[in-house]
Structure 1
Amino acid sequence: MGAYWGPREESPADCARRTAEFLTLLASCDPLLAHWYKPARTRQEARKHPLMPPDLDMLTESFRRGANREKGGPAIEQLGFTFWFGNGGARGADVDLRITCGDHGGATPNSCVMTLPSSGADAERLITAPVLVDVLRSMAQAWDPDWAVATSWDHRAAMDETPRAGGFVGWVTYLPRCRGTVPPLPAPVRIEPVENRGTLIVLAPERLTAGNPEHVERGRRVGELLARAGMLEPVISR
């Protein structure tokens, strides 16, 4: 799952405020997403440093320390700030968040990327359309992205040989209002508004898989319709 947006100059404090809002929203999506911890050498050590409830001063300092810089040199502020942390789960059952915020150089997108467990009881509960919709809605509200998506790596690869952020359709896709008006889409595709910000597009109520030809064809068809409407331009054009 990931939200992506183009150049936007923001300070470490701005990034911290958005992160705090996002973590607060996530906590209501699923119990597994209600606990987050600062990075540490071991999971046991990380659990001594919780990020919930969010502490703006601590988050601000974490982003400040995550400034891009040449080794031993000053921060390159136009490249923004990065903070990577997790929920402290066991290997293979954990959830990681990597946030890059404040990049206004335009070389790469800003992003908030979440990796989910691939198997087990938590994965079965999390990887469902209702939960993914809730998480993507939270990303849209906190980060105001140019595009966001929830899908598998295999499905992403099936959509395009070289898929780029903003240029393809996943299981659940978010498009902001500034990209235009979503055209009529074939059933059983569902659309949901996100306040006055944009639209969520859900390709299938059941789990979407790249091994299902119908799912792949539906994703390509919806992608064609959205591209024709001018709504699937890459977040970063180069």
Structure 2
Amino acid sequence: MSLKLKIALVQSHLIWENPQSNREAFSKKIDSISGDVDLIILPEMFSTGFTMNPQNIDTSEGINTVEWMRKTALKKEVAIVGSIVFTENNKNFNRLFFVYPNGKYKSYDKKHAFTLAGEDQIYKAGDTKLIVDYKGFKICPLICYDLRFPVWARNVEDYDVLIYVANWPKPRIDAWDSLLKARAIENMSYCIGVNRIGLDGLGYEYSGHSATYDVLGNQLVYSEKEEILCTTLYKNDIDSTRNKLKFLEDRDEFNLI
């Protein structure tokens, strides 16, 4: 039997700079998920919205949200991934956490800070790609603006699933749609994007478009409203398509320096 991974994409409105209220709202959404799920994906900065004011967030809230993710993962026996505002050693990060069902976790700091919003002046950028092994799948989780930079996502690790968590605004949503599909095709992997919806505290509008694409760029699920999308990924589909087409074997060889 082929390995499979059941995933829930949580497309949601976010309450501006209010971690406690967002955690409570996501707890209700997660509790509403019926059936077996292996991985739950939340948006970028899901506990605050895409704020450039980390000073408005108590430094304890990052730890509180990670602990909430751990407790939720243990309770639901599911993995959870999403990014949050996290403060450490007096430095701020847009940090993604992948929490396993046993409560252990790994983290990734957003590589490409969104300079248009001044994120590069406020949050320290990461420099290390994260590859997660989970239930027979290799997963590469990235954050929002990373989507515009294909070299960073380049599939040199033979990962199976590429994930983007985001706060991607409505005026540029066509780029989101196009780039998610492109990342799936060029990396011969499933590509999943989870965006938010609604207005943020600055009046920017978000229209969702959370989606899953297969290794050939076919769209499997898609939504523009507040809802939870469920999709199942199949390891055999990845392996059989790669073995048949072998496009990844023709990759150009180069290194990031």
Per the normalisation by structure 2, the TM-score is 0.32
